[in-house]
Structure 1
Amino acid sequence: MVSPLASTIIAPGTDLVMKEFSAASSVVSAMITSVYILGYAFGPLAIAPLSELYGRTILYNVCNLVFLVFNIGCAKANSLEALIAMRFFTGIAAACPVTIGAGSIADMIPHEKRGAAMAAWVIGPLLGPAIGPIAGVGAYVSGSIGWRWSFWVVSIAAGASGLLILIGLRESHAPTILESKTRTLQKNTGNASLTSALHSGKTPGEAFRFSLLRPVKMLLLSPIVLVLSLYLAILYGYIYLCITTFPRVFEQKYGFTRGGGGLANLGIGIGSLLGLFMLGAVSDRQVKALTARYGGDPKPEYRLPGTIIGALFVPAGLFWYGWTAEHKAHWILPIIGTGFLGGGMVIAFMATSTYLVDTFTVYAASAMAAATVCRSLLGALLPLAGNDMYDELGVGWGTSVLGFISVVFIPVPFLLYRYGERIRESKIFKVTF
């Protein structure tokens, strides 16, 4: 929750940042928020393979410390350039829980119970960005005691959560646990020839190079990872585009104060919660029902029917939000539209993420890293064009363009439900490992 919350908590205060540093560019203003997400795009490429070599726990603890240090640097920044640079490196470290959290779940939770566990985990990546502006404004952080306190609030939360993780988190990655036991046995018995049953046979250097390339190979060679990464990228981009343009829509069109503009994110937040509870309640039951109907072992494709609902909600929410805001209908109507958008995004995000985890299991961290890189790039870059797009097309047609793009992806869950198993059994799929 802390990691994605930090991505947007400064969004309502960007005008104060721009004023303090005497800057006026709308692109630079959006970059203060989106450069953090750009860090998300680079961090997973190293974090995921390192977690599959050295375990999850050490990565969590190191990245927590790096995140805290650079976030404090944001609070102390004495120039706009320093702030943007610090935000970028904070984003790299912040990618850790988003990248390997799903891998930790795959380590510990059996397939038939994984849907509920993923629902709990996905609260952070999806609600964090929506809560960030509410937290920053609702507590009068940006407008009352200064924008720098947005970063101090995050640093306090990061320090507390980092301490809990340092004290309470135990290793879950099976090869790492078995390798540690093997070294203990070698020391106690003096038998250096003992090896872990899960050892790959590669030297540490070879294993790292192979693991480092795995997310890239998955993204380029696996149709499943490529298509779902593009879909998740579009959904993630929409979240950040909405958050960075809400002040424009609700403060300029509806006359909301800075506090009220931040609370406009409640639509996405409440919609996301409802979608989360809906899919979390039915995901594991759906897998059990389909497994009983068709016999055999549960298949990853049994997670996908929920994605179909999300794929329909997303464009519906976009069209609703865009045109009610364009015609300046009552302010509650565009917020309800963003509720459908939030619900659709969380359903699609959770179902596709769980599908990737079920498909790649021990390599789930690499699969999620590939998806995180793709979605973070779009999440960082799309908001930079948001204000210019609305200047040219207006809120109605500008948001409709996004809606039409999401309509193109409606058939994706249908196609993967039908042909996903055939793709998984192909030779090109197996080569990605």
Structure 2
Amino acid sequence: MTALKHKAPPEGNEKCCDRYPSSSSCSKETIGQATLTQPEPVVEPVIIAVGWEEPEDLDPESPMNWSSVVKWANILTISVISFLVPLVSSMLAPAVQLVMQDFKTTSTWFATFSVSIFVLGFACGPLLLAPLSELYGRVIVYHTTNVLFLAFTLLCGASRNEAMLLVFRFLSGFAGVATITIGSGTIADLVPREKRGKAVSIWSVGTILGPMVGPIIGGYVTEVAGWRWIFWVISIAIGLTVIIAFIVLKETYPAVLLERKAARLNKETNDASIRYRSKLASDTTPRELFMRSIMRPATMLTCCPVVTVMCAYVAVLYGTLYLLFATYSFVFKEVYEFSTFAAGLVFLPGGIGTLLGLLYTAQWSDRTLKRRAAAGKTVAPEDRLALIITLPGALAFPLGLFLYGWTVEGHLHWIVPQIGTAVTGFGSILMFVGIQTYLIDAFEEYAASVVGANAVLRGTAGALIPLCGLDLYNALGWGWGNSLLAFTALAFAPVPWVVGKYGAKLRRLQAFQVNFSS
């Protein structure tokens, strides 16, 4: 803390104005017979930086020091929403043929895009929502988007033609992606790095498990009450969750919390000579901050090779999964003559595989870091990409695709391709959680932006790759069509190992160091 001080004017006959022209004792000058009064100098207030109270790990206002009950209440709430959002994304899949009959269309483009356009909203939403959360905080973005997500989901059920359904599906994805984009930032605010794996696993599983559970619910509801009731039933669950979120969620973003603390201290002291200011406050205007934040995900994608390659890998896996989600009902109805409800059930094995992958990840992710810390070794973000986690995931994903494709091609019993989808689900969650946690740890200060960058590329792939799904199978068949997808995933399999081994060096290279704050 520094205060602005003025030296006293000299004593004696020496004119103080000659040596101290800014001194308050020189407030008058005599020019001939006239006396001019000079304005009193403005004394700037003393600026006091506001941070957490020392010792920092005991300050109850810091989100890191909140009770476990409060922390997990926040994490579980955003995890539930992060489960419901992707559930809505895929629950229309088994009902697409009925929607096409209702709207009197035979477009194969609409058949897949009606499912995947939701994910296109996933790609666009983070560009706006991530910077808003870093400017105004997490909670206000959560509450606003949750209400909009509920409204757009209801409007999907009221759609009267293809255009209305596609528009409201896109807007649902745009608003709903908030918890998926910002959730990582909330976890980074609440949980220290060495304990973050479990929280990220629980939060991340919703983004994978949701799309697999959605069609099961959608298939049953469609068969019982019609496809419009898919949206109205899920809106009830969303509405209840929105109410809980208003009650439970607390602001966790340190920059916003310290700004509020500084404002409170200024109000309490009411002293014009002292001004409290958050140590995380920026000298730039909100507009400049917003423009920097809105460009940051794109900057991270294009200027940071580690982010680029990891997000590209996730995009390939995610786009492949949504291609499968968009075509499962066609495959099993055509090859195995499943009903609408039964076509929804084919997503269940993938969900089971995902849960098994989650248990595996939760078991090994944090344990690896704790073992290194206990051995006195430095814990680095790249430790999240240990071979014990990434190798099974990188190999299981394409293996499941091979098994699924060729057993469908050979018309083997339906349980065999279902085993393939379970293996694919197991591999996908290992890669998603491992890469997501790594990105959060490696770019902790900008966790929301780096996950936003991931979501942009992932969402774009998830929306566009499925558009070629039916044409791909028509041209190559079930076996070679899925083999092409598997070979693509296999080509990326070494990426986590390479980044795990050389990522720290790559991030330290001067040529690749980017100032994401500007």
Structure 1 length normalisation: TM-score? Answer: 0.97
Aligned to 1:146: 226
1:373 and 2:456 matched: yes
**Larger of the two Rg values belongs to structure:** 2
> 319, 327, 331: which one pairs with 1:245?
327
Aligned to 2:385: 304
SS at match of 2:177: helix
1:186-231 deviations in Å (ceiling 9; x for gaps):
2222247321011122211111111111111001011111111111
Q: Is the 8 A contact 1:424 1:430 kept in 2?
A: no
Aligned to 2:367: 285
Q: Give the distance between the partners of 2:164 and 2:514, measured in 1 at CA.
A: 44
Alignment-mate amino acid for residue 181 of structure 1: K
Unaligned runs of 5+ in 1: none
1:239-258 deviations in Å (ceiling 9; x for gaps):
21111111122111112111
SS at match of 2:514: helix
> 417, 429, 432: which one pairs with 2:513?
429
Alignment-mate amino acid for residue 198 of structure 1: L
Q: Give the distance between the partners of 2:484 and 2:270, measured in 1 at CA.
A: 67
Alignment coverage as a number of residue pairs? 430
Shift of 1:319: 0.7
Aligned to 1:229: 311
Q: RMSD over aligned Cα, in angstroms? A: 1.2
> 274, 291, 299: which one pairs with 1:209?
291
RCO (CA 8 Å, sep 6+): is it higher in 1 or 2? 1
Aligned to 1:188: 268
Q: Is the 8 A contact 2:112 2:327 kept in 1?
A: no
Alignment-mate amino acid for residue 150 of structure 1: I
Q: Give the distance between the partners of 1:17 and 1:249, measured in 2 at CA.
A: 18
Alignment-mate amino acid for residue 254 of structure 1: Y
SS at match of 2:412: coil
Q: Give the distance between the partners of 1:330 and 1:269, measured in 2 at CA.
A: 20
> 350, 354, 360: which one pairs with 2:433?
350
Q: Give the distance between the partners of 1:191 and 1:67, measured in 2 at CA.
A: 45
Q: Give the distance between the partners of 2:260 and 2:417, measured in 1 at CA.
A: 54
Q: Give the distance between the partners of 2:101 and 2:395, measured in 1 at CA.
A: 41
Alignment-mate amino acid for residue 339 of structure 1: A
Q: Is the 8 A contact 1:313 1:341 kept in 2?
A: yes
Aligned to 1:319: 402
Q: Give the distance between the partners of 1:142 and 1:429, measured in 2 at CA.
A: 52
1:375-432 deviations in Å (ceiling 9; x for gaps):
1001011111100000000000000000100111111011101111012223333323
Aligned to 2:217: 135
Alignment-mate amino acid for residue 274 of structure 1: L
SS at match of 1:194: strand
Q: Give the distance between the partners of 2:422 and 2:284, measured in 1 at CA.
A: 49
1:143-186 deviations in Å (ceiling 9; x for gaps):
22111111111211111111101111101111111111111112
Q: Is the 8 A contact 2:303 2:514 kept in 1?
A: no
1:417 and 2:417 matched: no
Structure whose residues are more often helix by fraction: 1
Following superposition, which runs of at least 4 residues in structure 1 exceed 3 angstroms of deviation?
A: 290-293
1:178 and 2:262 matched: no
SS at match of 1:170: coil
Q: Give the distance between the partners of 1:285 and 1:303, measured in 2 at CA.
A: 10
Q: Give the distance between the partners of 1:186 and 1:296, measured in 2 at CA.
A: 44
Q: Give the distance between the partners of 2:123 and 2:322, measured in 1 at CA.
A: 14
Shift of 1:320: 0.8
Aligned to 1:27: 109
Aligned to 2:485: 402
> 275, 296, 301: which one pairs with 1:219?
301
Alignment-mate amino acid for residue 355 of structure 1: Y
Q: Give the distance between the partners of 1:11 and 1:300, measured in 2 at CA.
A: 37
Unaligned runs of 5+ in 2: 1-82
